[in-house]
Amino acid sequence: MHGPGGHTHSHSDSDGGSRAENTRRMIWALLINVAMIVLGIVGAVLTGSLALWADAGHVLSDVLAIALGIAAAKVAARPATGRGTFGLGRVEILAALVNGLALVAVSVWIAFEAIGRFGDPPEIDGTGVLIFGFFGLLGNAVATWVLVRGDRSDINLEGVLRHSVADALGSIGVVIAGVGIIATGWNELDPIIGLLIALLILLSSWRLIREPVEVLLERAPEGVDVEAVGMGIARVNGVREVHDLHVWSITSGFPALAAHVTVDATCEVDATREGIEELLEREFSITHTTLQVTAERLLQIDDADDTVSPE
């Protein structure tokens, strides 16, 4: 939409298509994870392994995370309304934040259970742990492969993917625990692996908490140098000054910019604004802009009293 005070863009059709594809991938990952959680709980009950319980608990958080991600993607795809002029894209940001906090909660629970087992570790069926860990790893590998081929600029998909990667690492830990217990009979290895899984889960939650918070605080998107953006605008022919420059994200993959730009009085305002928009898209991948472009007033000197007045 063009207007005298600025220029705006909405999400492109291709962006909507990539998000729809991401949603389909998350649905497949959800089905895989539902099957894995049943397998993991059965394995944990039969073997008494905390590592398997930890893995099953993390898979449960995955199921909830993916369901939340799918619901958020569906809501975010709804068109803008009279009051929600940007649509509901930030629902995905909130979903990612909830997923990150859920990962922290799961890691704390696993660590608490693991510490409690060091004093009196139960007997663990190492062979059963190894078998169930292997099938868990296989399922996580398939789910991760499905998700990693999606558009990872979507933080909603990225949140689900990080859950899946952390699960795959957890399953590797379960396999290691099974092999170690079979080889040595050292049952303390099970809570040790549980603690390592908890640490991996905690580390995987960092981006999911940091990025949504940065979006909600309307900080500049990662990788965008606001000073460089301002200098780029100033290089456009006819631009004299740039004021009130703001760069933020509406949601993941949707950067926005607003600025007041002063240009030479002799410049064509619309042509200069279009030049700025082209530069922002070409050099900074910013397509949603609100630019207030004003021309400097011409000044003339009155020879009679040497005063300066607007023309």
CATH number, residue 137: 1.20.1510.10
Residues 65 and 157 in one domain: yes
Inter-CA distances, 26 with 22, 164, 265, 292, Å: 6, 11, 54, 41
Give the C-alpha separation, 189 to 54, whole Å.
14
pLDDT score of 274: 92
Distance between CA 234 and CA 239 in Å, rounded? 6
Decide if 255 is inside a domain. yes
Residues 265 and 183 in one domain: no
Q: Evaluate if residue 4 carries a pLDDT over 50.
A: no
Domain boundary among 173, 194, 216: 216
Q: Residue 288: name the closest of 212, 232, 208, 221 by CA.
A: 221
Domain boundary among 196, 216, 236: 216
The CATH code of the domain that includes 264 is: 3.30.70.1350
DSSP state for residue 121 in the 8-state scheme? P
Q: Is residue 3 part of a domain?
A: no
Q: pLDDT tier at 109 (50, 70, 90 boundaries)?
A: confident
Q: Residues 158, 294: one domain? A: no
Q: Where does the pLDDT of residue 296 fall: very low under 50, low under 70, confident under 90, or very high at 90 and above?
A: confident
Within this chain, do residues 146 and 92 fall inside the same structural domain, yes or no? yes
Q: At which of 194, 216, 238 does a domain end? A: 216
pLDDT of residue 87: 65
pLDDT for the residue numbered 291: 92
114 lies in the same domain as 57: yes
Of residues 90 and 209, more confidence is placed in 209
- Model confidence at 93, pLDDT cuts 50, 70, 90, reads confident
What is the average pLDDT across 60-87? 70
Chain centroid to CA 102: 15
| Tens digit of each residue's pLDDT (9 = 90 or more) over 230-260 | 999 999 988 999 989 999 988 777 889 999 9
Q: Note the pLDDT of residue 76.
A: 65
Helix residue spans in 119-154 (DSSP H): 126-148
d(CA 48, CA 128): 10
| Whole-angstrom distance, CA of residue 83 vs CA of residue 106 | 37
Residue 154 and residue 242 in one domain: no
Asked whether residue 2 is assigned to any structural domain, the reply reads no
Q: Are residues 198 and 249 located together in one domain of the fold? A: no
Is residue 177 situated within a structural domain?
yes
Residue 4 lies in a domain: no
Beta-bridge mates of residue 228:
none
Q: Tell me, what's the pLDDT at 230?
A: 93
Query: Number of structural domains, the chain?
Result: 2
Q: Which residue has the higher pLDDT, 96 or 32?
A: 32
> Does residue 231 share a domain with residue 82?
no
**Residue 286 is which amino acid?**
I
| Tokens at 46, concatenated | 């039969």
Length in residues, the chain: 311
Read off the tokens for 162. 């990080």
The pLDDT value recorded for residue 2 is 38
283 within a domain of the structure (yes/no): yes
Distance between CA atoms of 208 and 93, rounded to whole angstroms?
9
Supply 35's token pair.
Answer: 């099957």
Q: Residues 127, 238: one domain?
A: no
User: Is 221 within the bounds of a domain?
Assistant: no
| Mean pLDDT on 119-139 | 81
Q: Please, which pLDDT band fits residue 8 given cuts at 50, 70 and 90?
A: very low
Examine the domain organization and report whether 80 and 211 are in the same domain: yes
Share of the chain above pLDDT 70, in %: 82
Mean pLDDT for the chain overall: 78
Whether 78 shows a pLDDT value over 90: the answer reads: no
Average pLDDT on 273-291 reads 91
Residue 144 sits in the same domain as residue 285: no
Distances in Å between the alpha carbon of 51 and those of 54, 103, 107, 121, 197? 5, 16, 12, 12, 8
Segments forming the whole domain that contains residue 273: 226-310
CA 51 – CA 132 distance, rounded (Å): 11
Same domain assignment for residues 160 and 73: yes
The whole-number average pLDDT for the span 184-195 is 82
- Looking at per-residue pLDDT, the higher value among 11 and 52 belongs to 52
| Section 211-233 average pLDDT | 89
Q: Is the pLDDT of residue 277 over 60?
A: yes
